[in-house]
Structure 1
């Protein structure tokens, strides 16, 4: 596992291709619908390396470079899958979320939890804003489930007042982008333990209640409003630019850091929106990121 100062990247010794993404981490979460088959391919520097995967009662042997399918259970929930390289025992854990199908939303509610109504996209927007296929169930017991080495499920639900269960969407590409930004910050010499996810997923109901635009990327689980709160840990952005103040200069520092990554080949899969936000009476400074697939900028 690669280490930068006290920060560990959480990278595995092999990679996995799934859902059009390359997953390099020792723990990661994927989601799908009941009974759906996830197509996976192990990427390893040793051609033809053998791996075992354990999923429920099943133990199968697979070969690096050859696709294989994993059929998800019929019952929504969280299911662990373990991949192990036969030669040396190096592992990767997948947390597989079997989602509640969106078809179970009735009158804007899913098992009592208020989702609201998704806006109907037309024309060119239709392909960019498809209706969600399903929602991940968040309970009091599964919030600590890791989405990746440094992020958990409990960091991403809509901020609306409600009990459990809650339901949400978290795009895997967003989680990969957050991990990459965290790693790049540490590689640059800026020791950062993690990001505070001030706002992740938003239900259409909550998004409308706060007066946001209907087609916000948050509503599709592909956006996060973030800040760094490591030293001191006080619920506010850290003094990133070292001027002794906590203000827009610190969110600008983070914005500029992210902006410098654009144009680099390794960052191409994570193109998206980047927004700068100042403090107000409700929150401190923060930065918006998303994975919309094309460049968008505001606030700077």
Structure 2
């Protein structure tokens, strides 16, 4: 059953561009080599940036709508303005012409949520106590404001902001939570999927952020990582692009065996040293009358598996 997939591991041409540069940007607990990145800060909050690279290259940072202080060579501190919104910092490597575009999203603080509402958008209520006293289940620090103009903003090389919105119906602006670590994990997985022969320009994201209100409405578990912007449900939709999962194992049927192809591929990465930052949940779901087979991944920081 798996033979067509195994054959494509060796026959598929290496045409995928992972969107990486020759240096890494370090901010908070993220170390990222991608040409498009995103950071999330509160109003008036500082954000420290440091570059990692080999050799004696010269870099320049351009961020006209942010306050920038150069701490030392190839190290800066950005200061967020007081109002929520998106800003851009561009880091340019002079000898190669490479650039990193960093989206700096100034969030609405969590304290602005009143009676489960944020400026007319229903958030709901986060759990009173974190699960097992784990701080990853504390309420998020803030929410990203998303207008219609923001939907197509790239938050990483192959993913746009609008794809992470909650599915609940509402007018704009909408709000979401999104973790940079999740974006890095998705880019890592996308590169690996292509390396192993499954040609894919981007994953089809079925579900990403969920407000506690929406999460409760659909009957999901109380501590679902979707509510903290650290989880996605997705599948590959390339041949054809029809809004439905592809036949990944080539047996002529789209079923749980196809989600198992993705599940096993991702699960096998867990022993890699460079995958340690992405350890988290991995689940496999069968098709129903409402949807096709898909997988869930998250960045909870410890291993969890279901649906094997």
- What is the TM-score normalised by the length of structure 1? 0.94
CA distance in 2, matches of 1:207, 1:246: 27
CA distance in 1, matches of 2:220, 2:27: 32
**Quick check: 1:5 aligned with 2:14?**
yes
Which one of 136, 151, 160 corresponds to residue 159 of structure 2?
151
Alpha-carbon deviation of 1:61? 6.3
Q: 1:182 to 1:122 in 2, by over 3 A?
A: closer
Residue 37 of structure 1: aligned partner: 46
Residue 115 of structure 1: aligned partner: 123
CA distance in 2, matches of 1:174, 1:37: 22
Alpha-carbon deviation of 1:152? 0.6
- Alignment check: 8 A CA contact 1:156 1:199 kept: yes
CA distance in 2, matches of 1:227, 1:140: 25
Which one of 169, 178, 182 corresponds to residue 161 of structure 1?
169
- Alignment check: 8 A CA contact 1:81 1:94 kept: yes
Q: Which moved more, 1:175-184 or 1:18-27?
A: 18-27
Q: Which runs of 5+ in 2 are unaligned?
A: 1-12
CA distance in 2, matches of 1:123, 1:197: 26
**Quick check: 1:202 aligned with 2:210?**
yes
- Alignment check: 8 A CA contact 1:170 1:201 kept: yes
Alpha-carbon deviation of 1:130? 1.3
Question: Greater relative contact order (Cα 8 A, min sep 6): structure 1 or 2?
Answer: 2
Residue correspondence of structure 1 range 151-190 to structure 2 within 5 A: 151-190=159-198
Alpha-carbon deviation of 1:5? 2.9
Q: 1:122 to 1:245 in 2, by over 3 A?
A: closer
**Quick check: 1:261 aligned with 2:273?**
no
Residue 10 of structure 2: aligned partner: none
The alignment's C-alpha RMSD in Å is: 1.6
Residue 287 of structure 1: aligned partner: 295
CA distance in 2, matches of 1:243, 1:63: 58
Residue 91 of structure 1: aligned partner: 99
- Alignment check: 8 A CA contact 1:101 1:133 kept: yes
- Alignment check: 8 A CA contact 1:52 1:60 kept: no
Aligned residues: 295
Q: 1:122 to 1:21 in 2, by over 3 A?
A: closer
**Quick check: 1:246 aligned with 2:264?**
no
Q: Which has the higher helix share?
A: 2
Q: 1:123 to 1:221 in 2, by over 3 A?
A: closer
Question: Secondary structure at 1:260's aligned position in 2?
Answer: helix
Residue correspondence of structure 1 range 21-60 to structure 2 within 5 A: 21-47=30-56, 49-56=57-64
- Alignment check: 8 A CA contact 2:88 2:101 kept: yes
- Alignment check: 8 A CA contact 1:42 1:63 kept: no
- Alignment check: 8 A CA contact 1:237 1:285 kept: yes
**Quick check: 1:278 aligned with 2:274?**
no
Residue 25 of structure 2: aligned partner: 16
- What is the TM-score normalised by the length of structure 2? 0.92
